Amino acid sequence: MYHKILEKLEGKKVAILGFGMEGKSTYHFIRKYTDMPLTILDKKDVFKENPELQEDSNVTCIWGEDYLSHLEGYDLIMKSPGVITKDIDTRGIPFTSQLELLLEVNREHIIGITATKGKSTTSSLIYEILKQNGKDCYLLGNIGTPIFDELEHFQEDTYLVIEMSALQLEFVEHSPHIAAILNLYEDHLDHSGTVKHYHENKLRIFKYQTKEDYRLYCSDIEPLNSYMKEGYLGIPYAITLREEEGENVTSLHHDKVFLNGEELFDTNTPISLVGEHNLRNIMVALTVASILHLEKEKTIAAISHFHPLEHRMEYVGTYGGIHYYNDSISTIPASTISALKSLPKVDTLIFGGMDRGIHYQELVDFLNTGVVPHLICMPTTGHKVGQQITNPNVQCFFVETLEEAVKKAKEVTAQDKSCILSPAASSYEYFKNFEEKGRAYKNLVKNF
């Protein structure tokens, strides 16, 4: 399959925009097969930082704060997802990407998953179900493996489960054969500018489908359900926790999941994924398995053996009689609320992070019910939310660092109760990403 993509690059004047994980993956793939001239554009001086570029006589590097002003004169620009273009006029710029090129040459075996929250868990679960059913498959995309890293191994019948972020979808003009949106919330306003633009980027996963494709969405979540009335093609499959009948509706009836009259799963089956949001993720995966006519027993076995991914309501351990959970992936209020509803005996919540302009009233209202008696509020958003907690039965502790937060949690959390880190905000002020924050939290919990 890789040769089809090489043909699309042949004879073109190509630039790689952004030299992070995906940019480097694109460069290494191209250089493995051709010494065609390339230009690399990045804010940093990537030529100085990468000796391999210094040894490449057919590469030109353009760097600096104004690197986005050098996008003219190319036939194709391989844009990395991390490059933010909301402040420039992108009309007429020939952006493409690893995802777009793959969709152009082989979309029939691609299962695309996107959402504000839950896409990594669902993508990983579908991948494990395919493996359990003996399928040749790969897990790629936003979850951490660039598509081009595995491209040469794909066969015509290989299933590709791809987690797709809003930034990866922003400029695509092709859609997967099977596509799912789990939910849409307010997020990434620092990247997308507006909620509307962020949602539009996500919805591109459906935009170019045909009547022969499959469109999966959680119909009991707004505004996602309302968007589905806008005339998208693709055979619609609605996933809902309500008891609903209808063609291609995956729904819950007396603890059992049904689709078109067939029982797919008994929710009393022992599993590690907990909470309503994870039940929806499971139902989406079951729907994909049904569309692909996978074996029911093997599918259930894969779900039963699946464990939560790191930083997603991850059980850290019991220390000093307190049960600790790491949910650093929760960077929006809705996700933190779901975690608090799902985990047992939560006595202390550690939360807060960078203020990206999203709304927090829903979280304020939820915490004011007294569902969590101890709130450890970190800057910046944690301090703002904590100042609005008026329930006298809720104690708020304002701290400046994660170390202070964990120390306070050890002091105030009751024995045999749980403490959870679930920021409801981005970690970028003090940490590189949610992974770094989650691992720092786990180290502090274990070593204090």
- Helices 2-9, 98-105: crossing angle, 10 deg rounding: 110
321 and 443 assigned to the same domain? yes
- Tokens 């006298």, located at residue: 392
- Helices 119-132, 296-305: crossing angle, 10 deg rounding: 130
Are the CB atoms for 23 and 16 separated by under 8 Å? yes
Question: β-pairing, 159-163 with 235-239?
Answer: unpaired
**Edge-to-edge strand list for the sheet holding 322-326:** 314-319, 322-326, 418-421, 346-351, 374-377, 395-398
Number of domains within the chain: 3
Last residue of a domain, one of 96, 113, 128: 96
296 and 330 assigned to the same domain? no
218 and 292 assigned to the same domain? yes
Dihedral (Cα; 210, 212, 215, 216), 10-degree rounding: -170
Interatomic CA distance for residues 77 and 95, integer angstroms: 5
Sign of the torsion formed by the C-alpha atoms of 30, 34, 35 and 37: negative
241 and 361 assigned to the same domain? no
State both tokens at 244.
């609903």
- Helices 98-105, 21-33: crossing angle, 10 deg rounding: 50
Last residue of a domain, one of 260, 276, 305: 305
64 and 105 assigned to the same domain? no
The distance of Cα 64 from the centroid of its chain, to the nearest Å, equals: 29
Q: Which residues contact 339 (CB under 8 A, 6 or more apart)?
A: 275, 313, 325, 327, 330, 420, 422
Segments in the chain below pLDDT 50: none
CA atoms within 13 A on the CB side of 344: 6
424 and 375 assigned to the same domain? yes
Note the pLDDT of residue 191: 64
130 and 211 assigned to the same domain? yes
* pLDDT, tens digit (0-9, with 9 covering 90-100), for 155-198: 989 999 999 999 999 999 999 999 999 999 987 555 666 889 89
Note the pLDDT of residue 190: 59
* pLDDT, tens digit (0-9, with 9 covering 90-100), for 17-63: 999 999 999 999 999 999 999 999 999 999 999 999 999 999 999 99
- CB burial readout 232-271, b (16+ within 10 A) else e: bebbbbbbbbeeeeeebbbbbeeeebbbeeeebbeeeeeb
Note the pLDDT of residue 289: 98
145 and 283 assigned to the same domain? yes
Last residue of a domain, one of 61, 79, 96: 96
278 and 357 assigned to the same domain? no
Domain residue limits at 272? 99-305
- Helices 402-412, 434-447: crossing angle, 10 deg rounding: 50
Q: What is the CATH number of the domain that holds 205?
A: 3.40.1190.10
110 and 177 assigned to the same domain? yes
Q: What is the 3-state secondary structure (H, E, C) of 355-377?
A: CCCCCCHHHHHHHCCCCCCEEEE
74 and 104 assigned to the same domain? no
Query: What is the residue type of 74?
Result: Y
125 and 78 assigned to the same domain? no
Are the CB atoms for 345 and 371 separated by under 8 Å? no
- CB burial readout 116-132, b (16+ within 10 A) else e: bbbbbbbbbbbbbbbeb
13: left (phi over 0), alpha (psi -120 to 50) or beta: beta
Note the pLDDT of residue 124: 97
What is the DSSP secondary structure assignment for residue 414, as one 8-state letter? P
Interatomic CA distance for residues 154 and 107, integer angstroms: 12
The distance of Cα 412 from the centroid of its chain, to the nearest Å, equals: 33
What is the DSSP secondary structure assignment for residue 12, as one 8-state letter? -
- Tokens 């509706």, located at residue: 249
pTM metric for this prediction? 0.90
Note the pLDDT of residue 161: 98
Q: What is the CATH number of the domain that holds 336?
A: 3.90.190.20
**Edge-to-edge strand list for the sheet holding 95-96:** 59-63, 38-42, 14-17, 76-79, 95-96
Note the pLDDT of residue 303: 98
Are the CB atoms for 97 and 78 separated by under 8 Å? yes
Environment class of residue 61 by beta-carbon count within 10 Å: exposed (0-12), middle (13-18) or buried (19+)?
A: buried
Phi, psi of 352 (to 5 degrees): 120, 155
Interatomic CA distance for residues 159 and 107, integer angstroms: 10
3-state secondary structure of 428: coil
